[in-house]
């Protein structure tokens, strides 16, 4: 949402074309932590929007890409809802990370989501936090000191049975440009990472029925409509039901003068039954009369039902947006959006229609058709996908390790595994690139005929941080042995084997006494043998894995299988101490051979290539290529957070054979294999893989260059485990995906620019919540309580993890520019300090290669302590009002100082804003009036109810607002006021009057007509206003009429000339007419939407063509001193451009020779830089006044300089009269 803070952020309402075009703004979305602009956003503003002929026509096909995950950010503006202060975009977003088999379509098709109102959703972990025995009341009961495997207790039993809760729920929010997650930390809800959003739950009858969230601007978001969901598993008789989502119902400004309201219809739907998990449990030992089964297969199916809400309407003072639905008629009983209709209370101005097809029972968005005011003309946006007819159903078992389609005909999702009885074949879960990309969006064709085409490839990775490494490996049978043979003089035999991971092993042996009459000890002699073999771990414990010794009068041999031998080093030993003894031991296992190419196929998709076409000439195509390699190494830069692990061990006790009463006398060790990873498959920025380095190559018709971006990743900040790895880790994902370096290369491959960023993980606001999750490791139905309160032989896996809310911000950045020709460089470093009340930048210190240090400082409302002020007054009252309404972002004072080569910093400019407590808007803008930089600047302070500003501050502009927070008057320093009248329910300015006074103007019009009348009535009111003021000398009146939500329809100048703007049926500007109805400019469009010559039909290039005029100028600061920056003047010479013959100034870089800084160190009242030389002025007294109270003289003086100029007047006190002189 773009908030319109009165006139200061008034948005252009005249260009409907911007609402028609799909404007994809090109930016690299690599970091979620934005730094506040240090250029003041609250300075002088233009209230009246530019005319339609000056509006941009927009651009197609510029797709931002999240390089860290390789995901194109496809966002399509569809329409918008408006009120006086708020503009809420309605858009479509596409998730290009890949389609998983179990993915279900949203209300606008598979992979798409519609951004309208907003919602808060919840992942319940255990029980809902606010419920009886939930986390809110039971977090303090979490025991400490639990290790990996612990005996059962009443607490752990209750936790396992979900009677009590030890895990905080996680909430996810997405509304109006705010997105992220939050959780309960102590007595407050906080976002992860930390932000200043104020989140307050509304609890009724022990359940959260809503939330309110207040943002940094003080705007209030109410979520008062909720969704209830119920889930049940086929293996359980229990059904869980909870509140799973809360929907945005209202946005209101801090003073409750304006709002957008969201209405919903209740409805119910069900998701199709899906296979939640398959489990195979196999006894891992000989079953000698055991009472438990040797083999158990179990499948759990999930059923979900929802009592939900669908958005029906968005309403504002002059806007209605209605949503219409029908059933999907696919796998689930949810609805799909058929159309969106926008009206301005008088007529329909927008209609958007959605068209779908169905594949694999899933609806796919095929096209989007928009029409404005009429349905005669329309524009269609078409979407193409990769092999959508091959989309699998949600019941398909053709899934890779992460649930993406792999096209394999599996009968089970449990993969192949090893256990006591050997190998049991299972499902093939490998990643198949040709199938994993099925269903992805491959092309958007725009109404203009242009398009954006997407080519994908499977993610790849070179590192895995936890779990196993799936795929890209093979097995090789390996056998190690140790042999001792007395007759050959080998009394002992040894060998060593090392396992890199838990592995099934078979150990076999043979011990006997040789027949001495046969050579080579080839046969036994049936005599006693003293031979011995064993396998022993080589570690701190040195435990013996297996041992056998010969004591019988015959051959002793056998084998033993271990389903999972822990990783480590093992020694094989055989001894043959007796004459003719022979002993041997064999260690057999399957060694995993890992692909060492550095490229392993991973889950989901990443973008490989984007081609932007204008639909006219392929030579104009712009292409972006993406490579995900470590520069200079060639290996993949991808890092997989977690690889899947399917196998675990489980022990269940039962009665011994022949004993009918349940006891725990017989141990049954099971190998359990699941279709779901026992290790949580973690994500980073919503993807399973993050990339440490990404190269982006740009190719166009006239240029080519590349960039290399470097990011923090799981390799830098790995999740940590405290207990079993089958339980959740503590996530540090908020530290990952931060851009730390970016390099720019020209067409010749030469480095021309480098950016480096350094971040701070600030512990100032750090909070943690402790969570505990457990799993059953050993079970017996007849477990009994022991004297220490534990149950034997019951055991649980236990693991702690934390949710962390911590502040992340940019600490510094360095930009270095390289000149490859002269082998030189320039460097600028910015160091940031922050206001902890708003988390915005409070100080930026810039150091450049010239030895110059520039410091920009900004203060905010909470920088002033008003805790002891009970009745604030004057300027203090305005700041107190901002604090009370949680408006954290308004700037109070900004000032800049400059120093060179270690000299004393001197203030060069400063601004101060005071606020009206009744409307929270600026009521006065002060500017520091300086002739030269000063070293004695005093920042704004408040002590009690008294504020103090620097004496050199002068009012620049004062502002007055109406009760609806609309700007009505601006009085500049020269005293000539400008007034504004608002109409159309206070949404648009209808008159601008320079001169006169507001009270007089208000008496000349009927406000109710301006706000509620039709165009004819409003025009008459404005005509009366113009006629009434025509006799007033020096009063200038400009008036405007609108078609609400379409654009400006006419503008009448102070001289009485009226210009009219005509639009076609789909909202495009087609003609500009004069007051007589004559067309002074006609705009025609081709079938593809391009502006064309109305006579020939040829496409017209309407882009500005800027050429240099030859004029240069130096950029000045507020004191009219050079800044070393230079600007170049340009003129637009394209006759068909909207800005033809207009001039503009653009940066021409730094030119210290042409635009030198003032004399270094030339500071003080008596100093002035003249022609680059520091001159000292002559002190001249101009007045002397005696104070009878103090007995002192007050002397007034200034300095006269060699160029004839004089300084400002200053005063000083003296016990003697001053010699008054006159400047010569």
How high is the pLDDT of residue 28? 24
Which class for 887: exposed (0-12), middle (13-18), buried (19 or more C-beta within 10 A)? Answer: buried
How high is the pLDDT of residue 782? 92
How high is the pLDDT of residue 1119? 59
Sequence-separated (6 or more) residues with CB below 8 Å from residue 922:
8, 42, 913, 914, 915, 916, 959
Does residue 92 contact residue 76 with C-beta atoms inside 8 Å?
A: yes
Task: Say whether 390 sits in a helix, a strand or coil.
Answer: helix
Q: Beta strand 544-549 with 463-464: parallel, antiparallel or unpaired?
A: unpaired
Structure tokens at 197: 């959003």
How high is the pLDDT of residue 763? 92
How high is the pLDDT of residue 701? 63
Cis, bond preceding 193 (omega within 30 deg of 0): yes
Does residue 1046 contact residue 1067 with C-beta atoms inside 8 Å?
A: yes
Structure tokens at 527: 């005599």
Domain boundaries, the chain: 474-594, 1106-1150, 1167-1214
How high is the pLDDT of residue 556? 83
CB atoms under 10 Å from CB of 1207, counted, come to 19
* Closest C-alpha to 1157, from 1208, 1117, 1198, 1107: 1117
Average pLDDT per 10 consecutive residues for the chain, totaling 1224 residues: 32 28 26 33 36 31 76 88 91 94 92 92 92 92 90 95 94 92 95 96 93 96 93 77 92 95 93 90 77 88 90 93 90 86 86 92 92 60 95 94 94 91 88 94 87 95 77 68 87 90 85 78 77 83 76 76 84 89 88 64 95 84 93 88 90 83 87 92 92 93 83 93 84 95 93 95 94 93 92 93 95 93 90 95 91 93 92 93 95 93 87 95 92 90 93 92 89 87 91 90 91 90 89 84 87 90 75 86 64 70 86 77 82 79 81 76 80 84 81 86 85 83 52
DSSP letter (8 states) at residue 514: B
How high is the pLDDT of residue 139? 92
Cis, bond preceding 195 (omega within 30 deg of 0): no
How high is the pLDDT of residue 1160? 67
How high is the pLDDT of residue 12? 30
How high is the pLDDT of residue 1087? 42
Does residue 584 contact residue 484 with C-beta atoms inside 8 Å?
A: yes
Which CATH number does the domain 474-594 belong to among 1.10.10.60, 3.30.2290.10, 2.60.120.1540, 3.40.50.1470? 2.60.120.1540
CA distances (Å), origin 636, targets 70, 81, 692, 709: 13, 45, 9, 14
């Amino acid at each position: 949402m773009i908030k319109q803070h009165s006139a200061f952020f008034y948005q252009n309402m005249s260009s409907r074309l911007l609402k028609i075009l799909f404007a994809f703004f090109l930016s690299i979305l690599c970091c979620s932590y934005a730094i506040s602009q240090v250029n003041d956003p609250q300075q002088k503003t233009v209230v009246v929007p530019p005319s339609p002929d000056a509006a941009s026509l927009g651009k197609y096909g510029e797709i931002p890409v999240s390089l860290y995950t390789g995901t194109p950010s496809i966002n399509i503006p569809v329409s918008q809802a408006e009120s006086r202060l708020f503009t809420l975009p309605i858009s479509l977003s596409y998730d290009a990370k890949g389609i998983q088999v179990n993915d279900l379509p949203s209300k606008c098709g598979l992979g798409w989501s519609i951004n309208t109102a907003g919602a808060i959703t919840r992942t319940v972990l255990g029980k809902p936090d606010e419920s009886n025995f939930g986390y809110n009341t039971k977090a303090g009961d979490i025991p400490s000191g639990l290790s990996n495997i612990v005996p059962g207790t009443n607490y752990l039993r209750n936790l396992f049975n979900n009677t009590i809760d030890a895990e905080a729920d996680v909430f996810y929010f997405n509304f109006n440009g705010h997105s992220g997650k939050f959780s309960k930390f102590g007595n407050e809800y906080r976002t992860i990472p930390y932000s200043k959003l104020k989140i307050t739950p509304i609890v009724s009858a022990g359940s959260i029925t809503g939330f309110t969230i207040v943002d940094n601007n003080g705007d209030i978001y109410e979520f008062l409509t909720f969704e209830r969901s119920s889930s049940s598993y086929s293996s359980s008789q229990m059904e869980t039901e909870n509140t799973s989502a809360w929907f945005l119902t209202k946005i209101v400004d801090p003073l409750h003068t304006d709002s957008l309201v969201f209405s919903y219809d209740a409805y119910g739907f069900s998701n199709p039954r899906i296979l939640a998990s398959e489990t195979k449990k196999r006894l891992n030992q000989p079953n000698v009369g055991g009472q438990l089964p040797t083999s158990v297969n179990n499948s759990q199916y999930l059923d979900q039902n929802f009592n939900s809400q669908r958005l029906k309407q968005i309403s504002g003072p002059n806007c209605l947006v209605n949503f219409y639905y029908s059933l999907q008629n696919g796998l689930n009983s949810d609805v799909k959006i058929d159309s969106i209709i926008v009206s301005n209370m008088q007529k329909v101005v927008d209609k958007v229609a959605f068209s779908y097809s169905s594949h694999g029972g899933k609806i796919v968005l095929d096209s989007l058709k928009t029409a404005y005011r009429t349905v005669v003309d329309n524009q269609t946006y078409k979407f193409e996908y990769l092999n959508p007819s091959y989309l699998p159903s949600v019941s398909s078992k053709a899934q890779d390790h992460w649930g993406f389609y792999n096209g394999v005909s599996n009968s089970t999702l449990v993969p192949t595994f090893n256990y006591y009885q050997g190998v049991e074949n299972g499902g093939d879960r490998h990643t198949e690139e040709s199938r994993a990309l099925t269903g992805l969006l491959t092309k958007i064709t725009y109404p203009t005929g242009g398009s954006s085409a997407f080519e994908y490839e499977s993610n790849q990775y070179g590192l895995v941080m936890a779990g196993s490494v799936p795929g890209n490996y093979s097995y090789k049978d390996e056998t190690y042995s140790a042999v001792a043979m007395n007759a050959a003089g080998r009394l002992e035999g040894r060998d060593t084997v090392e396992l890199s991971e838990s592995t099934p092993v078979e150990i076999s042996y043979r011990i006997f006494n040789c027949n001495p009459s046969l050579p080579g000890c080839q046969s036994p002699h049936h005599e006693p043998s003293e031979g011995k073999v064993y396998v022993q771990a080589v570690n701190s414990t040195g435990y013996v894995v297996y041992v056998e010794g010969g004591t019988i009068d015959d051959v002793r041999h056998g084998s033993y299988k271990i389903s999972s031998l822990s990783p480590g080093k093992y020694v094989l030993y055989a001894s043959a101490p007796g004459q003719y003894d022979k002993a041997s031991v064999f260690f057999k296992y399957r060694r995993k051979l890992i692909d060492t190419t550095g490229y392993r196929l991973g889950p989901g998709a990443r973008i490989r290539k984007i081609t932007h076409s204008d639909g006219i000439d392929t030579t104009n195509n712009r292409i972006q290529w993406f490579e995900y390699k470590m520069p200079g190494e060639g290996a993949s830069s991808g890092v997989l957070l977690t690889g899947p692990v399917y196998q675990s061990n489980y022990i269940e006790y039962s009665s011994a054979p022949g004993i009918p009463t349940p006891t725990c006398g017989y141990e049954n060790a099971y190998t359990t294999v699941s279709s779901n990873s026992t290790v949580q498959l973690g994500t980073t920025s919503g993807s399973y893989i993050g990339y440490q380095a990404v190269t982006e190559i740009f190719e166009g018709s006239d240029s080519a260059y590349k960039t290399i971006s470097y990011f923090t990743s799981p390799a830098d900040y790995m999740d940590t485990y405290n207990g079993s790895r089958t339980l959740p880790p503590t996530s540090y994902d908020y530290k990952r995906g931060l851009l730390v370096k970016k390099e720019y290369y020209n067409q010749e491959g030469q480095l021309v620019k480098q950016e480096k960023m350094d971040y701070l993980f600030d512990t100032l606001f750090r909070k943690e919540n402790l969570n505990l999750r457990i799993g059953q490791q050993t079970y017996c139905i007849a477990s009994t309580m022991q004297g220490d309160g534990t149950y034997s032989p019951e055991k649980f896996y236990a693991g702690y993890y934390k949710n962390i809310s911590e502040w992340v911000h940019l600490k510094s950045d360095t930009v270095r520019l390289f000149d490859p020709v002269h082998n030189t460089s320039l460097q600028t470093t910015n160091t940031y300090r922050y206001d902890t009340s708003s988390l915005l930048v409070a100080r930026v210190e810039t150091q450049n290669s010239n030895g110059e240090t520039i410091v920009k400082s900004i203060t905010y409302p909470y920088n002033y302590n008003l805790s002891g002020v009970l009745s604030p007054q004057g300027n203090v009252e305005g700041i107190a009002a901002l604090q009370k309404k949680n408006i954290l972002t308004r700037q109070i004072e900004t000032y800049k100082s400059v120093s060179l080569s270690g000299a004393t910093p001197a203030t060069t400019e400063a601004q101060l804003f005071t606020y009206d407590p009744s409307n929270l808007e600026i009521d006065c803008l002060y500017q520091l009036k300086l002739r030269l930089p000063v070293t004695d600047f005093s920042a704004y302070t408040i002590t009690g109810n008294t504020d103090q500003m620097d004496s050199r501050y002068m009012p620049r502009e004062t502002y007055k607002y109406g009760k609806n927070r609309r700007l009505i008057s601006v009085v500049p320093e020269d005293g000539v006021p400008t007034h504004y009248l608002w109409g159309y329910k206070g949404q648009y300015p209808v008159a601008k009057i320079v001169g006169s006074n507001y009270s007089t103007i208000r008496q000349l019009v009927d406000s109710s007509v301006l706000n509620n009348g039709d165009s004819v009535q409003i025009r008459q009111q404005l005509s009366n206003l113009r006629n009434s003021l025509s006799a007033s000398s020096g009063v200038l009146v400009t008036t405007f009429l609108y078609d609400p939500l379409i654009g400006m329809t006419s503008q009448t100048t102070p001289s009485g000339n009226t210009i009219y703007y005509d639009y076609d049926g789909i909202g495009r500007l087609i003609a500009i007419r004069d007051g007589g109805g004559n067309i002074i400019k006609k705009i025609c469009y081709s079938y593809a939407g391009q502006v064309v010559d109305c006579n020939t039909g040829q496409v017209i290039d309407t882009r500005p063509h800027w050429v240099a005029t030859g004029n240069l100028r130096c950029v000045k600061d507020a004191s009219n001193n050079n800044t070393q920056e230079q600007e170049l003047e340009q003129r637009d010479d394209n006759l068909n451009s909207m800005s033809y013959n207009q001039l503009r100034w653009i940066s021409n870089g730094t030119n210290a020779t042409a635009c030198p800084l003032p004399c270094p160190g030339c500071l003080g009242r008596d100093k002035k830089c003249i022609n680059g030389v520091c001159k000292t002025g002559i002190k001249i007294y101009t007045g002397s006044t005696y104070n009878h109270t103090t007995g002192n003289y007050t002397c007034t003086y200034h300095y006269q300089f060699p160029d004839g100029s004089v300084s400002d007047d200053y005063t000083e006190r003296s016990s003697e009269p001053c010699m008054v002189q006159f400047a010569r």
